[in-house]
Structures are given as C-alpha cells and as structure tokens.
Structure 1
C-alpha cells in the first residue's frame, strides 16, 4: 500500500513537470526583440542628437552671418524696367557649390533646392507667375517674405545680435532617428520668461541623412517643394 502511494506521488510530480515544460517560451530572437523594445535611449542616440543639434546651430549661424550664403533666387531681370522675367538656371551650379562646400547639406537637399528653382522658372515661362518688380515681394512662397532657413521674420530675443543668439539656442527634438537618417524638429531654447506664448509653440521641421559618415541636412521646412 505504501509503495502504491509513493508511485502515485511520483506520477503526479512528473505530470506537473511535463505541464510546466509544455508552456511556450520566447525564442532567442523574440527575447532579443523584447530587450530591444524595453531598452532605454542609447548612448549612440544621445551622441547623434548632440551632433545634429550642433549641425543645425552652425547652419543657422552661417545663414545669419550671410557672408558666404548664396543668392537662392538667381533672377533674370529686364534692365529696361527692373522686372523679374525668370531664373538664370546657369547660376544653379554656383549656388550648389556654395551649399556643398559648407558641409551642412546632403545631395538630396541640394537636388531639392534645384527642383524648386526649376519649377518656379517653368511657371514663369508658362505665365503662371507674371513678371514682377524687383522691389516687390515675389508672388510665391519660397524665400519671399520670410527667411527660409528658419521660416521666420523675427526671433524671440532682444539685443543687437538677437539672431545670432537665437541660432545658438535652438533645441532639436527627435521624431524618429536611426543610424542612417532621421526626422526631427527644432524649437527656440532658453526663452525669456516674459516672451509671448506664441513663441513657445513654434516648431521647424527638418530631416537628416548620413553621408560619408557625417550627419547632413536632407530637408528643411523652409525649402519644401510645395513652396514652389
């Protein structure tokens, strides 16, 4: 009788063990995926963000100083009445070279800029855009009444060097970012306490891409092809 009881106990233990072992377990691949999802922001992401923020600030300082910033609108001007009749596409190479030499911009960005000018030139040739005086605001959105580098006419800071100060205070934010590309936006940083609330909601979208191992700007909100 005692032997029978022992046998029953052993059988129950074995059955419980088999039931436990039959539960599905995460595969090695699934385990890695779980760890990847639950892992916090990596040191690489933080480093990339810092590099991109420095890139954007340097770009804005360069744009504000204006010494080597090319004329983005190479107009063809009628000397008789100072009206703009089109674009000198032959000057695009010089503009492209000026942008490329900065090291800020990717090929994609420069190609997009060229496309904007070509579209605008085509519209003027097709009379979709009428000739206009050089003293007027151009009748299109690109580089007209706002600065395309920041999509702004003013900055939320005071002082003689307000624009330079602003350029060095922008803060970048990640929408998505991997090792090769990313979508981001920037906001004005270190805003004065008495600044208008509107400034706190201002954002500027941009994208980046790795070229030659370095982050470069591939898209800027102020250079959207929709502005052409």
Structure 2
C-alpha cells in the first residue's frame, strides 16, 4: 500500500514537473511571439494620431481645393490651330506648368502631412505626363478632361462627397507592412448619402513615420498607374 502511494506521488511529481516545463516553454514561445509582433505593430496612441492625420488631410484638402494634375501650360503659338476631340477650336497644353507645381509643392510641405517620398512621387508623375505630352502620346486640351487620371477626384475616387465627410469617415481595412501602415477608408455610415459607399469599396492610402511624425506616403489617386 505504501509502495503504491509512493508510486502515485512520484507520478504526480513527474507530471507536475513536466507540465511546468511545458508551461515555461509555452510562455517563452508566447513571449518571443509578442516581441516579434511588437516590432510590427502600432500603439493605441499611434492609431489615434493616424486617424486624426487622415481627417486633417481631408479637411485641409477641402479648404485648399485645386487641380493637382490638370496643370498644363498653354500653347502660345496662336498661328497653330488646335482642335479638340469634339472637333472644336481649343487651346492645347504643351506640357506641365512647373511654376504651378512649385506652388502646390510648397503648400503640401507647409502642412507637414505628407512625406518627402509622397511629394517626390507626385513630381515624377508630372514629369511622366510632361514627357508624354511633348512626345505626342497625350493630346491635352484646356476645358476638356485630360487624357490621364481616373476622371474622378484623385483624393477620393469620387465625383460627389458628403459635407464635412472627414468627421464621419471610417477605416475599413488596415495592414501593417514593415514601417508603414496600409489602409482603406470610406465615408462612414453616419452620412446623409448612405448610398454613396455602394460605389466605393474603400480608398487606399499609406502612412509612414518620418522625423518622428506619421505622414501620408501614398494615395491611390497619386499612383503612377493612372497616369
């Protein structure tokens, strides 16, 4: 009987010891996973800052509305008659108005909302448009839709939008990738035009941390694929 008790105690001890080691191993594994996750996550404070950044960007854009790509320089050679696609006389653009770009660039930089990479990419798109106009790949006329872009507002891929939508906009998806955060947003449910989101699957943009501040580094309407 005593031998049986001793055997049971030994078995319990071995079982507890084994369980303890298993728990320790699991705890260490979890700790390592948490450290790994920690290196690619954002804090609650970051998420609030990012959300506020996006809202500020769209509020700023509404109050500083201007053309960002349809900024052509007019052909001043009036001896050459240009004809629009509709067969009417029209003023033809012969390239990008780089003075206008400089003005836009200064405005973007002053906000401190946009990364250097975003502004550099914007300039590269305009250079691409400028080259295509000058080599004849694009025919571009004043007062007509340009031969590039999506035909919609590059900031939201929309023709219409609710008033002060930056107050209702919500983030649909979010993905962490290295040091950047990819996300999509729409106008939100608490808007007057509930139907508008049926035509919008989410507008993609990316933010990165630059000089200790979160900034917009990519917007789909500023993607080279549209130009």
TM-score interval (norm. to shorter): 0.7 to 0.9
Deviations 1:156-200 (A, max 9, x none): x4xxxx3xx2233222345124894211111112123x732x524
Paired residue for 1:184?
183
Paired residue for 1:96?
105
Q: Secondary structure of the equivalent of 1:133?
A: coil
CA distance in structure 1 between the aligned counterparts of 2:174 and 2:220, rounded to whole angstroms: 14
For structure 1, list consecutive stretches of 5 or more residues without a partner in the other structure: none
Query: What value does the CA root-mean-square deviation take over the aligned residues?
Result: 3.2
> Displacement of 1:132 after TM fit?
2.5
Whether the 8 Å CA contact 2:174–2:183 is kept in 1: the answer is yes
Instruction: State the TM-score, normalizing by the size of structure 2.
Output: 0.75
Matched, 1:14 2:10: yes
Deviations 1:60-88 (A, max 9, x none): 12211226x57544423202252012224
Evaluate the alpha carbon distance shift between residue 35 and residue 57 of structure 1 in structure 2; reply closer, same or farther with a 3 A threshold.
closer
Q: Secondary structure of the equivalent of 2:194?
A: coil
Equivalent residue pairs, number: 208
CA distance in structure 1 between the aligned counterparts of 2:61 and 2:166, rounded to whole angstroms: 9
Instruction: State the TM-score, normalizing by the size of structure 1.
Output: 0.75
Whether the 8 Å CA contact 1:73–1:117 is kept in 2: the answer is no
Paired residue for 1:170?
169
4+ residue runs of structure 1 moved beyond 6 angstroms? 34-38
Paired residue for 1:150?
156
Kindly report which structure 2 residues correspond to 1:46-61, keeping only aligned pairs within 5 A, or say none.
46-61=44-59
Matched, 1:111 2:107: no
Paired residue for 2:88?
none
